Structure 1
C-alpha cells in the first residue's frame, strides 16, 4: 500500500479522510495506536472514528463548522481528529499553554460551534483555563452558551484526571457502542470530500500579538506526510513514538503521516517525560520520531540512558548542528537523521534533508532542500531585494502547499506576500547551492552596533570553537544603551569546569567570528535549559535571568 502511494501523486488530489478509510480497510488487524499498555488496531480505531463522526452529526456539527480542541496527546483526540475531518468540519487545535486573554481572543475570532477539551494536562487545570477565558459560559442539558462566544453550542470534556463535571458533555457518551452509526451517510461524506476543501485552522506560534489562524486545505498536511515518509524511508513496519503535543503541527504530522498515509503504529504518551519516552522506545522497539532540541537532550541526559534500548533509526529534527551530533550519537549506526525547516503557513514542511545524502556536513549544517514545487529566495531585510547566493536575509518562498490565508485577517494575509507572490516567512537564513539554512526568527536576529546578528549562528560558532569545553550554549540579545542590543551567551560547561572570564573567551573568538558576533558577555548556566511542555527553549526566562545577572555584575 505505502510503496504505491509514495510512487504516485494521489496525495495531492485526495483527502486525509479518504486515505484514512482506505488504510483502515487494508491494515485492519495491524496495531494503529499504543497507549498506556493498550493496543488499538486499525479496525478498532475506524469503528471509534465512525461512532464519533455520527455523534458529531447528531450534535449538528457538519461541513464548515469549527471544532476547537484543547487536546491531550491521547487516543480520544486522535480519533476526534479523523472524525472531525470525516464530517467536513474544521479542525482547530488550541495551545494548552496560553493564558485566558489569548484563548478568549482566538476563540472569538475562530467562532467554534463545538469545543472539546481535556480536563487537565499535568498540573494544568484546562477546564479552569477555559472558564477563565469564557467567564459567562453556561452549560446545561448538553448545551452551552456564552455571550462572549455566541457561535458556541456544545462543550465536550475528556475526563483524564477526574470524572467529567456536571454540565459538560462526557466524551464517553460520544463513543457509546449503542450509537446508531449510518455507514452509508458517513461514507458519502468521505467520497464527497475534495483536496481543496478547507478543513484545518492551525494556529501560528505567535510573537508579540495574538496567534493567527492559518487556513489549510488537505494539500499542506498531506505534502508534509508524503515527503516526510519518503525522506525518512518509512515502511509499514515502522513504529513511531509521538513526543509532541497534539496542539502543535508536529502532532498533526504524526497523526496524518502514520495513521492516514503510511499505516504504521503510533505510540502515545500523555505529555513528554524523558524516562517514560525511553521506556516506551525500549518496550515497543520504536523506530521513528520527530523531536525538538529539548526532547533529545531530555532523553540523553537521563542518568541511566545506556540501559535502555534506543531503537530510533529514523528521526526528523528541528534543531542546530549540535543537536544533529547528539541524535547521531544516540541512534544506531546508519540511522536516517533529517533536519527540516518548517512553518505553519506551509503545512508545515518547507524543506527537508534527503535520506540518501552522503555529505554529512550538509545534513548537519543545513535544513535540507525545498520540497518539490517549493521556490525559495532570500531577500534583504531593508531593501526587499534578492541577496547573492549564500548571503543571509529573510527566507521567502512560493509553494503549492501554502495556506489559504489567515482566518478573518485579510489585511494580515495580504501583507505576508510581496509583489512577486513570495510569502515572507519572518525567518532569517540563507539559500546556498540548493540548500536552506535557517538561522532563527527575525526576532532572533538582533541589531547590535548597526549589524544584523543571528543568535543561532553565534551559538553554532561557539560550539565549534569551544566544543571540548562547552557542553551547550544559548544566545540572545539584551537591550543596551551603547550597542542598542548586545549579544549575550549562556554557557553550560563540560564536566563541571568553571566558566572562563569574558576577556579570555572573547580573545579566543577573534579571527574565527565576525567582531560584531562575539558575545559581549558570557554567563554561566547549570542544569537543564528552561523549556515549555512543547519542548522549545523558553528564551523569555533566559532573558530575565540574563538581565538579573548583568544588573548584579
Structure 2
C-alpha cells in the first residue's frame, strides 16, 4: 500500500480523510493505536471517527467552521482530529504551554465555533485559563456559551481524564454519544458524501507558528503540506509497513500531527501514545512493543538516556528523526542498534512543516551529523545576506530563504505579514540563520535573539518585554539570554536590574509569579541580579556575549537568585 501511494503521488491528489478511510478499510483488524495497555484496531478507530463526525454534524459543525483544541496526545483527540477533517471543518491545535496573553490574542483571530480542551494537564487548570482568556464568556438559559469577543463560539467541550464535569462545558463522552446512529444506512451515506466532497486544496488546518518574534501567527494549510511531509519523510527514512512508531510529542506540535498522518493515514502502521512524555515510560513502551521509529527533540533523547539502568531496556528504535544539535546525533546513534537510520531535519510551520531531511541511505557521517539534509523535491533554497537581502556565495551564512510547492496559504487575518514574508523574487524569508552548501541545509539558529529551549523556540526579546510589563513595580530593566545547556539545549536566563528600593526575589518566587503570564517555556530557568549599566560593544549595542559569559560564571558558582 505504502509503495503504491508514494509512486502514485497520493499526497498531491488525495485528501487526508480519503486516505485515512481507505487505510482503515485495508488494515481492518490490525492495530492502529496502543494506549495504556489498550489496542484499538483500524476498524474500531474508523467506527469511532464516523461516530464523532456524525456528532459534529448534529451540533452544526461543518465546512469552514474552526475547531480549536487544547489536546492531550490521547486516542480521543486522534478521533476528533480525523472527524473534524471529514466534516470539512478546520483543525486548530493550540499550545498547552501558552499563558493567558497568547490565548487572548489568538482566539479572537481564529474565530472558533467550538473549543475542545483537557481540564487538567501538567498541573495546569485549562478551564480556569480559558475563562480568564475569554473574560466576557457567559452562558444563556439553555447552557450555550457566548462571548462578544468570540462571536463565532457555539460549543465548549471538555475531556476530563479524571471523570470530572465542568459547568458550561459539554463532556467529551456526551459529545461522542451525540453521534449515535452514525452507521445507519442514511447516516453512512452522509459520511460517504462528506469524504467525496473533500478536496486536497481545501484549507482545513490552522497551525500556530512558534511565536518567536511575538504573538503566534495562524498559518493556513490545505491537505498537501502535511501529506507531503509524511510522504517524503517516509521515503527519506526508509519507512515501511513493518514499523511501530512511538509518539513523544504533544498533539499541539506539528510533530504530533506528523505521527498521526504518517502512521494512521499514509502507512497504516501502529502508533503508540502516552498522555505525556515521561522518559522511563517511553523506554518501557519501546521495550514492550518493539517500537522501531520516532521523532524527538534534544530533551527527549537526553531524558531517555539519563534514565537509571537505561541499558536494561530493549531500545529498538532503528529509524529516528532529530530536531537537535550535532551532539545529539552522536547520543542517539549510541542509543540505537547498529545501522540505525538517524535523520536530522529542518522544518517550519509555513512549509507544512518539513523543508529538508537527511536521507536514510546517506553514509557520510559529517553530512548526517552537521547538516539538516537536502530540501524536499521541488523546494528551492537560497541564502541571503541579513542586511542587504542579496544572495551570498554557496557555503556562506545568512538568512535561509526558500520557495516550495508545499507552502502554507498565508497567515489568517494578517495579509500584510504574509506579503512581507516574501521578497521580490518570490522567496519566503524564514527568519532562520544558516547556510546551504553542496545541496545540504545547515540550520544555525533563529535571527533576532531566539533560542531553542526544550524543543520550543523562545524569543529572548519577548521574554524581557513580558517580564518588564508584569514586574513593572520591581524591575528597572531586564536582559534575557540563552545559555547552552546539555538538557534544555539553551537555558533561558534573565538578568534583572531592580528598581531603587527593591530587591530581586528568588528564582523560585519569580518563576511562580510568572505562571499564567508567560508561556511555560518562556519562563526563565534562572533570574540573576544585575547592578549598574549594561555592558556595551564599541558600537554602543548591548554586549550579550559578555552577559552570557557572566551568566555561565554565576551559574557555575550557584549564584542564581
| TM-score, normalised with respect to structure 2 | 0.81
- Give the aligned partner of residue 103 of structure 1: 103
Give the counterpart of 2:320 among 281, 293, 315.
315
Q: Map of 1:218-233 to 2, 5 A cutoff?
A: 218-233=223-238
Structure 1 pair 491/36, CA: closer, same or farther in 2 (3 Å)? closer
Contact 1:118 1:158 in 2 (8 A): yes
Alpha-carbon shift at residue 143 of structure 1 (Å): 2.0
- Give the aligned partner of residue 31 of structure 1: 31
Aligned partners of 2:130 and 2:425: how far apart in 1? 42
Give the counterpart of 2:408 among 363, 385, 403.
403
Aligned partners of 2:227 and 2:205: how far apart in 1? 12
Structure 1, unmatched stretches of 5+, are 446-454, 457-475, 480-484, 494-531
Give the counterpart of 1:265 among 267, 270, 274.
270
Q: Map of 1:467-486 to 2, 5 A cutoff?
A: none
- Give the aligned partner of residue 450 of structure 1: none
Aligned partners of 1:402 and 1:422: how far apart in 2? 11
Contact 1:204 1:213 in 2 (8 A): yes
1:394-423 Cα offsets, whole Å, 9 max, x none, are: 000000000000000000000000000000
- Give the aligned partner of residue 59 of structure 2: 59
Q: Does 1:202 align with 2:207?
A: yes
Q: Does 1:358 align with 2:359?
A: no
Contact 2:99 2:520 in 1 (8 A): no
Contact 2:54 2:179 in 1 (8 A): no
Aligned partners of 2:35 and 2:397: how far apart in 1? 44
Give the counterpart of 1:424 among 421, 429, 438.
429
Aligned partners of 2:235 and 2:486: how far apart in 1? 37
- Give the aligned partner of residue 120 of structure 1: 120
Aligned partners of 2:173 and 2:485: how far apart in 1? 49
Q: Map of 1:245-256 to 2, 5 A cutoff?
A: 245-256=250-261
SS at match of 2:150: coil
Give the counterpart of 2:221 among 216, 220, 225.
216
Q: Does 1:82 align with 2:82?
A: yes
Q: Map of 1:268-287 to 2, 5 A cutoff?
A: 268-287=273-292
Alpha-carbon shift at residue 490 of structure 1 (Å): 4.6
Contact 1:51 1:174 in 2 (8 A): no
Structure 2, unmatched stretches of 5+, are 453-459, 465-478, 488-514, 529-547
Q: Does 1:146 align with 2:151?
A: no
Aligned partners of 2:353 and 2:27: how far apart in 1? 27
Aligned partners of 2:179 and 2:426: how far apart in 1? 52
1:66-103 Cα offsets, whole Å, 9 max, x none, are: 00001000000000000000000000000111111210
| TM-score, normalised with respect to structure 1 | 0.83
Coordinate RMSD, CA, aligned: 2.6
Aligned length: 480
Structure 1 pair 159/232, CA: closer, same or farther in 2 (3 Å)? same
- Give the aligned partner of residue 166 of structure 1: 167
Contact 1:139 1:168 in 2 (8 A): no
- Give the aligned partner of residue 134 of structure 1: 134
Q: Map of 1:13-32 to 2, 5 A cutoff?
A: 13-32=13-32
